[in-house]
Every structure is written in structure tokens, then in C-alpha cells.
Amino acid sequence: MSDLRALPSVDRLLADCGPLIQDYGRLAVTETLRAELAAIRANRPDPVPDAQAILINLVKTMAAQSRSRLRPVLNLTGTVLHTNLGRALLAEAAIEAAVAAMRAPAALEFDLETGGRGERDSHLRGLLCEMTGAEDATVVNNNASAVLIVLNTLAKGREAVVSRGELIEIGGAFRMPAIMEQAGCTLREVGTTNRTHAKDYRDAIGPQTGLLMKVHTSNYRIEGFTKEVLAPELAEIAHGAGLPMVNDLGSGTLVDLRRWGMSPEPTVAEAVAEGADVVTFSGDKLLGGPQAGFIVGKREMIAAINRNPLKRALRMDKIRIAATEATLRLYRDPDRLAERLPTLALLTRPEAEIRTQAQRLAPQVAAKLDCRARVTDCNSQIGSGALPTETIPSAGLALGPSPEKLADRLRALAIPILGRIHDGELILDLRCLTDDAALLDALNG
Ligand SMILES: *Cc1c(COP(=O)(O)O)cnc(C)c1O
């Protein structure tokens, strides 16, 4: 029978909490201590813990509570742009710019030449136009917001015509039909899942039509007996009817990835040159910057988007504007982009280098975890809906036995290590591990 009368009082325990109070403050320590005592009273353990046991536990709880809830992890999943792990890592220049914008006031909406009011997008407009060939550009919170505000501005109360083959679900609640509904326009599906013809679009156009839209099928491919109307022809059909053509590229990229031996993903400049009036794309996918949604295109349409009250609701903050500007600036020197932009550096890391790293680390990881570790071939993915059917040859460690238990152990570390289970082994793809010490240190935690 548990004797709760033996439980020390809060005041008695607090008297021994000097260093803890120094670190975390009296209020936080008192509240946590109260909660622990309440838990003991509720659970009635036998024997009741003494003061020392309670205090040892309190030290642990305070330390755990003070750790950020947003925990840093090691991404050894093999997916470089992992949406659930925060997508792109920022370049040093972008991190510095963000920090500077956080520390001191910045001329965000202030024109230093005239002393009058400035525009927050003006910091990015020039770079975006230079890199895409578009007349004008604006930015919002993310690409989902970009699509929302474009549809709402250009097709509210009217129909947006999209091929059935392009009614994409990105994940979560982002489904193209749902976004259309929220934007206040009606989805007009044309064609079939695998085949859509120019005539399908033409037949759908009427007084109710607001725009024609092309959506990059970023996370799937339809193969076999297929037909799609390519952007230049779709733009021609739209313009023939006096309508805008919008192209949602999803990831998009500002550079030709073939330069680094990768498969091509559509560039924004190509999409602009193909006649789209408005092109939307993400900041934190292949572009390698912070979360952002870019909208580039014809001057009058960008102006209309900027006048939409939703713009204020979806606008980007100064921290990300600073980081985005610094990221975009790196693209002015493509020769050094792969060194400076972590996303590109990781995607282009040579397989041989990763294999050597795996060979070096296998015995150390096996020893630290007391498990089997062998070097294995891996197929990394870009992730975030870019080149979904392509993989990049990589190497890693295959750990066993009991991969589920190993995965649990690695997730419980102070810096959790995330891999994936495949064929009875826990696979750690080392593509995103640029520093051996990061893994070995994490294993010590
Ligand atoms: C990823 C994606 C989006 C959404 O972009 P976020 O930046 O995640 O908001 C929209 N459309 C397409 C085609 C995409 O691939």
C-alpha cells in the first residue's frame, strides 16, 4: 500500500532547487514540480519516491521541456527535399541575410531614395524577372497560396479549365479541385485521365471561362497511350479566346539541371517563353530557398494579383524575403551554385564519394549500435514532387537485425536519425550526410 503521507512538500523540495531555478526560473520549476507530485499522487507508486528521486526526475523533465519542440534530425531517408522534414536547407548567404533581418530594422516597405513608402516585393522583383524573363513578379507565403491567389484574381466566379490528367493532389489537403473551390472558381475538367486534346479545351471555352490552366504533374507520371496539350499550344488556344493561360510548375527550377548531369525539370524561363501569362512555383523545392510562392508573368496580371486583398493575408515576412533574395542572388553565378546551394550540393554529390563514406562509417556504426551494418546501394529521391519517377544512385548502410527496433532507438536519440526500412533492414542513405561527425555524434546521444 502506497503511503502518500511520506511525499515531501513542494516547499521542502523547492528549497533544494536553487540551480534549477537559476536555469529555468522559479515559476517553471514550481509548476513542473507540482505536476510531478500530482502524478505521483494519482499513480500511488509503492514505495513512494523520496526527495532525491523526485529531484533527479525533475532535472530530467526540465531538460526535456527546454529542448525545442521542433527537433533537429539527421535526414538519412534518401529523400533530399523531404516535405515532412522541412524541405530545402538554406545556403549560408541566405541564413546570414535572414539573421540580419531578424536583428535589426530593415527598409522592408520604405523607399530610401524618396523617404516615402516602398513595396516589400520590390526586393525580389528584379532578380525574379532577370532569372525568368518575365515582365513582373510577386511573392506569397508558398506555392499553394500562389495558385489560390492567381485563381481567385483571374477566375473568381468563372471556370478554370484543366485537363483531367493534371488534377493533382500534392499531399494533405492540397488538391487542385479543392483549391479551385476555395478560390471561388469552378473547375472545368476536360479530356480523360490519359488523353487530352486541343479540341477538348476549345470546346470547353465559353462566356463562363476565366482561364486555361496547366498543372505540372509533379509527383506522378502518366505513361503509355497518352496525349497532352503542351504549354505553347495551350497558350495559343487561350489567347485566341482572349483568356489568360496559367502554368503551375510546382517545383520548377531556375537553371537547366542537365548541366549537373540530372534529368531536366521544366525551367521557369521556359514556361514564361512558352507563352504562359502567369507561372507559379515554390521557393523551397528545387530552388533551394525558404518556403515561398513565386508568381511571375504579365505586368497587368501581376498588378491585379497585388491589388487582391488576399495578397495581404498571404504575404511573406521580412525574414524570408531576406533569405529569398540572398538565395536568388546565388543563381547569378551558376558556376558556383552547386557549391553554395545545399539542395544542389546534396543532389549532385557523387555516388563514389558517398560509397567511400559508407565504407568508412560501417564498422563504427556497427560498433556503436552493436548491430550488423553493411554497405548497400541506395536510390535517393529528389522529393517534394520533382522528377517523381527518377532516382539518383547513392550508397548507405543497411542495418540489422530487428530494423523496427533499431529505427525506434535511432528516433529516440537527442538528435534523431531517420532512415527507412526496406526488405528487413534499416537503410541509412548517406547522400545527405556531408559530415561523418554529425552521425557519430548523434549516435553518442
Ligand atoms: C508542390 C506543389 C504545389 C504546392 O506548393 P507548396 O510550395 O508546397 O505550397 C502546387 N502545385 C504543384 C504542381 C506542386 O508540385
Strand, coil or helix: 364? helix
**CA dist list (Å): 242 to 199, 215, 234, 237:** 17, 20, 12, 9
Number of residues written out for the chain: 445
For a substitution probing ligand 1, which of 142, 182, 282 has the most ligand atoms within 8 Å of its CB?
Answer: 282
- CA–CA dist 390, 382 (Å, integer): 8
pLDDT at 399 exceeding the cut of 70: yes
Half-sphere exposure of 416 (CA within 13 A, CB side): 15
Q: How far does residue 251's CA lie from ligand 1's centre (Å)?
A: 7
Q: Which residues contact 95 (CB under 8 A, 6 or more apart)?
A: 323
Write the DSSP symbol of residue 166: G
- pLDDT band of residue 6 (cuts 50, 70, 90) is confident
- CA–CA dist 35, 349 (Å, integer): 49
Among residues 222, 367, 389, 244, the alpha carbon closest in space to that of 305 is found at: 244
Q: Of the ranges 89-93, 118-122, 268-272, 385-389, which one carries the lowest mean pLDDT score?
A: 385-389
Domain 134-316 has CATH 3.40.640.10: yes
Q: How much is the pLDDT for 1?
A: 59
- pLDDT band of residue 221 (cuts 50, 70, 90) is confident
Residue tagged 510546382 (cell numbers): 250
Strand, coil or helix: 75? strand
Residue nearest to atom 15 of ligand 1 (CA): 250
- CA–CA dist 193, 80 (Å, integer): 30
**327 Cβ closer than 6 Å to some ligand 1 atom:** no
294 bridge partner residues: 139, 281
- What would the grid cell of residue 409 be? 532507438
pLDDT at 192 exceeding the cut of 90: no
Among residues 32, 275, 2, 10, the alpha carbon closest in space to that of 135 is found at: 275
**Alpha helices (runs of H) in 243-334, residue ranges in sequence order:** 268-273, 299-307, 310-314, 318-330
Q: How far does residue 408's CA lie from ligand 1's centre (Å)?
A: 31
The CA dihedral of 143, 213, 151, 266, to the nearest 10 degrees, is: 20
For a substitution probing ligand 1, which of 143, 217, 220, 278 has the most ligand atoms within 8 Å of its CB?
Answer: 143
Mean pLDDT calculated for residue range 422-439: 97
Residue nearest to atom 10 of ligand 1 (CA): 250
For 269-297, the pLDDT digits (tens) are 999 999 999 999 999 999 999 999 999 99
Mean pLDDT calculated for residue range 98-113: 96
- What would the grid cell of residue 222 be? 502518366
Q: How much is the pLDDT for 442?
A: 97
**CA dist list (Å): 428 to 45, 77, 147:** 41, 6, 36
**158 Cβ closer than 6 Å to some ligand 1 atom:** no
Per DSSP bridges, beta strands 293-297 and 136-140 are: antiparallel
Q: How much is the pLDDT for 172?
A: 63
For 45-100, the pLDDT digits (tens) are 989 999 999 999 999 999 989 988 899 999 999 999 999 999 999 999 999 999 99
- What would the grid cell of residue 334 be? 551558376
- CA–CA dist 374, 359 (Å, integer): 8
**426 Cβ closer than 6 Å to some ligand 1 atom:** no
Q: Of the ranges 107-111, 163-167, 294-298, which one carries the lowest mean pLDDT score?
A: 163-167
Q: How much is the pLDDT for 4?
A: 87
Q: Ligand 1 atom closest to Cα of 384?
A: 1
Residue nearest to atom 13 of ligand 1 (CA): 250
Q: How much is the pLDDT for 170?
A: 63
Can you give the pTM of this predicted structure?
Answer: 0.92
Domain 74-85+346-443, CATH number (from 3.30.70.870, 3.90.1150.110, 3.90.1150.10, 3.30.70.120): 3.90.1150.110
E-state strands within 67-173:
74-75, 136-140, 159-163, 169-171
